[in-house]
Amino acid sequence: MTSKKLVNSVEGCADDALSGLVACNPNLQLLQGHRVALRSDLDSLKGRVALLSGGGSGHEPAHAGFIGKGMLTGVIAGSVFASPAVGSILAAIRAVAQAGTAGTLLIVKNYTGDRLNFGFAMEQAKAEGISVEMVVIGDDSAFTVLKKAGRRGLCGTVLIHKVAGALAEEGVGLEEIANRVNVVAKAMGTLGISLSSCSVPGSKPTFELAADEVELGLGIHGEAGVQRIKMAPADQIVTLMLDHMTNTSNVSHVSVQSGSSVVLIVNNLGGLSFLELGIIADAAIRLLEERGVKVARALVGTFMSALEMSGVSLTLMLVDNPLLKLIDAETTATAWPHMAKVSVTGRNRIRAAPTEPPEVTEATAAGGIASKQTMLVLERVCTTLLGLEEHLNALDRAAGDGDCGHTHSRAAKAIQGWLKEGPALASPAQVLSKLSVLLLEKMGGSSGALYGLFLTAAAQPLKAKTDLPAWSAAMDAGLEAMQKYGKAAPGDRTMLDSLWAAGQELQAWKSPGASVLPVLTKAVKSAEAAAEATKNMQAGAGRASYISSARLDQPDPGAVAVAAIFRAILEVLQTQGA
């Protein structure tokens, strides 16, 4: 089965993509009759070297995203994963030559079709008297033995665009630029790894991977790599990549060792999430620094993709200060990142946390819950929530991302960790305030914020008194805060439904002579009934409000969790004879 792609047609997708880029960027123009994008200020380049690059489409933002002052003059694009036509390459060379440039440098990735087509166009241009040279970039570090075709051109080519562009902007001549970038290209390497293949529009995936496999050393056209390995944590994957790239027995290795200074590119091959990309970047920088390597600059993002491939490549380029100045030189290319012109290594990445105000010691009010009883209640609540994790997740999958059980489990584990520290539990207000902070920090999601708001507000009435009317007032305060900021109301199919039902019953504590257990028992039953009733409600707040009510045939997981918490509290107090 062919993959789904948002295109107008398979045949026209490369043209449409380039047209879209030019339509959004007033600094670019299309060359009439060709799939070529050029700087719109060509006339300003008189007397300076022009830089042309290109290759198959499907690697966006490469290469057209790197057109601009200080980088490329223009790009010739082929069909998806196909070399551009010789006629279009020659037309681009003629266009920049007729604008009065002082020669043209072709920057070509090392693939047979690109070498042939760009080379043929160069020879024709030379026959017409045009000054043109070509550099072929091969930065692939995958192969441990020398291949006749040489190293493939990968994401390191983008760094060559940048270095050559900075030199051209300085007015350096064609021959010197070619010589200098050839030297730079020999001091860099790239290695990719992927969790999936990609598919050319109108075609099936180029290769298949098992659920527990990843592909090491693959190319940017969906071609398979040099090794299939088992899925592993990100740190292990990055360690394997760095080991492979820098192993001196690997003929295509990069000579990076302790004391080296490098530019690092963490390149998204197309379908990797930004979350994963950040994890890979953290691992790469940390592991390089542990090896004594100085990371002078780090570029993280999508620079040279392979359509929707879920993978990443790492590029390492050895640098000194003169080369760094070229990397740091200004450019208007839209795909080049804005990064600080300072070293990544050697910088303090942690700012000290702000100091917290000293805790105010509060005397335990008469009738307050004893420390031992509080401990037992919290332990029972934690055990209950941990036991409900999978059930709550299952309920949440109908209306959310299926993590309600996970978030309540995180809360329970955080509370258990706090209880192991042996905290003083004499003051109910302090206990609720501490629980609020714990849940806000550890629970996560909207649930953590809502519980935090509820507990913070509920703690206030308990600072002065801890009798039954004060506990009823605490419930009122918590409900008010939750409604104020959460924007939910009773009947909206949220955790508030259970809390509200319990709160109505707890109003009885404000009456003279009220007892703890009879009122709390009614509150628990009301909370459980309200939780069950949510399965018949139309969601009016939260993520579930975006889901058709026809699919919401289970109780709200937040309401179920709240009812379970009340039940756990009641059971402990019944055992203690409160």
Residue 405 assigned as binding residue = no
User: Where does residue 365 rank: exposed (0-12), middle (13-18), buried (19+ CB within 10 A)?
Assistant: middle
261-268 and 294-301: which strand pairing? parallel
Q: 222 falls in which pLDDT band (50, 70, 90)?
A: confident
Judge if 553 and 425 occupy the same domain: yes
Give CA–CA dist 126/138, Å, rounded. 24
Total number of domains constituting the chain: 2
Structure tokens, 72? 């490329």
Structure tokens, 554? 């289970």
* 227, 240 contact by CB (below 8 A): no
Residue 59 assigned as binding residue = yes
**What average pLDDT does this structure show over 471-483?**
95
Judge if 387 and 292 occupy the same domain: no
CATH number of domain containing 462: 1.25.40.340
Identify the pLDDT of residue 552: 58
Structural domain includes residue 354: no
Residue 413 assigned as binding residue = no
Structural domain includes residue 178: yes
* 257, 294 contact by CB (below 8 A): no
Residue that terminates a domain, selected from 328, 363, 381: 328
Taking alpha carbons only, the member of 461, 450, 468, 458 closest to residue 508 is 468
Judge if 431 and 518 occupy the same domain: yes
Strand order in 28-30's β-sheet?
28-30, 36-39, 74-80, 50-57, 104-109, 132-137
Judge if 539 and 429 occupy the same domain: yes
> What pLDDT digit, counting tens, does each position of 285-343 carry?
999 999 999 999 999 999 999 999 999 999 999 999 999 999 999 999 999 999 999 99
Taking alpha carbons only, the member of 221, 548, 569, 576 closest to residue 382 is 569
Structural domain includes residue 351: no
221 belongs to the catalytic site? yes
Q: Which long-range contacts (CB under 8 A, 24 or more apart) does 222-230 make?
A: 222/81, 222/197, 222/198, 222/306, 222/307, 222/309, 225/142, 225/192, 225/193, 225/194, 226/142, 226/143, 226/144
Residue with tokens 């300076």: 48
Residue with tokens 């006629």: 87
CATH number of domain containing 194: 3.40.50.10440
> What pLDDT digit, counting tens, does each position of 501-539 carry?
999 999 999 999 899 999 999 999 999 999 999 988 876
String of DSSP letters for 543-577: GGGGS-GGG--S--HHHHHHHHHHHHHHHHHHHHT
Q: Which has the minimum average pLDDT: 400-404, 483-487, 498-502? A: 400-404
221, 253, 406, 408: which is the annotated catalytic residue?
A: 221
Structural domain includes residue 515: yes
Give CA–CA dist 403/392, Å, rounded. 8
CB atoms under 10 Å from CB of 440, counted, come to 17
Residue 58 assigned as binding residue = yes
Judge if 251 and 378 occupy the same domain: no
Judge if 316 and 388 occupy the same domain: no
* 110, 88 contact by CB (below 8 A): no
Choice between 164 and 223, residue whose per-residue pLDDT is larger: 164
Structural domain includes residue 334: no
User: Where does residue 546 rank: exposed (0-12), middle (13-18), buried (19+ CB within 10 A)?
Assistant: exposed
For 423, the 3-state DSSP assignment is coil
Judge if 422 and 293 occupy the same domain: no
Give CA–CA dist 152/136, Å, rounded. 10
Residue 56 assigned as binding residue = yes
Structural domain includes residue 358: no
Give CA–CA dist 474/465, Å, rounded. 10
**What average pLDDT does this structure show over 111-137?**
97
Give CA–CA dist 10/412, Å, rounded. 53
Q: 367 falls in which pLDDT band (50, 70, 90)?
A: very low
- Residue 230: phi, psi to the nearest 5? -75, 145
Judge if 177 and 296 occupy the same domain: yes
Structural domain includes residue 475: yes
Judge if 198 and 56 occupy the same domain: yes
Judge if 211 and 88 occupy the same domain: yes
Identify the pLDDT of residue 507: 96
**What average pLDDT does this structure show over 425-453?**
90
Judge if 200 and 289 occupy the same domain: yes
Judge if 28 and 169 occupy the same domain: yes
- The residue range of the domain holding 69 is 12-328
pLDDT at 543 > cutoff 50: no
Residue 57 assigned as binding residue = yes
User: Where does residue 289 rank: exposed (0-12), middle (13-18), buried (19+ CB within 10 A)?
Assistant: middle
**What average pLDDT does this structure show over 61-75?**
98
Structural domain includes residue 360: no
